[in-house]
Amino acid sequence: MIEEQHQQFMLEAIRLSAQGASKNEGGPFGCVIVKNQRIVGRGNNQVIARNDPTAHAEIIAIRDACLHLEHFQLEGCTLYTTCEPCPMCLGAIYWARPERIFYACTRVDAAHIGFDDQFIYEEIMAEPQQRKIPMKQLLRLEALKVFSAWSDKSDKTHY
């Protein structure tokens, strides 16, 4: 695809970000997912509208695209997001495995308007015992039995 086509898809993501913010659905973030030069998923931040802290633009667009593609991975897809993804969305994007990502604003731009992910990046790097939300290990051996059963399961779908 030529640069101008990528820009058109990013402009659609930007349009979604502005529309969602103006309707007070959530922060000013938008995302579209494209396969074979067609939009297969759209999303804008809907944290407020859905009372869902995980309803970021990228998460909604990934769910929309997977629903349309009837698959749990975004093979051959390109993701356009109006801002560098937060740690949650970056993780979700890696699980979804699109081919590539275009982003517009940076995480520093987002921090300037009150969306600062730095705290989460620091928490990811910290040992579980040192995180701000207390984490304590419990019943590992009991849970491991299910892992063993999964390991031995012959009819599982790999992903």
Q: Which residues are catalytic?
A: 58
Q: Which of residues 128-157 bind Zn ion (CB under 5 A)?
A: none
H or E, element range at 81: strand 77-83
Which of 13, 31, 79, 86 lies at the binding interface for Zn ion (CB under 5 A)?
86
CB of 128 to Zn ion, least distance (A): 22
Return phi, psi of residue 114, to 5°: 100, 10
Pair of tokens at residue 117: 């992910």
Is residue 92 close enough to count as binding Zn ion by CB under 5 A?
no
Is residue 107 close enough to count as binding Zn ion by CB under 5 A?
no
Cβ distance to Zn ion smaller for residue 8 or 84: 84
3-class secondary structure, 103? strand
Cβ distance to Zn ion smaller for residue 40 or 83: 83
Residue 60, judged by CB atoms within 10 A of its CB (0-12, 13-18, 19+), counts as buried
H-state helical runs in the chain: 3-22, 47-50, 57-69, 87-96, 107-112, 118-125, 140-152
3-class secondary structure, 31? strand
CB of 8 to Zn ion, least distance (A): 23
Stretch of 13-21, 66-74, 84-92, 134-142 lying at the interface with Zn ion (CB under 5 A): 84-92
Q: Which of residues 30-59 bind Zn ion (CB under 5 A)?
A: 56
Binding site for Zn ion (CB under 5 A): 56, 86, 88-89
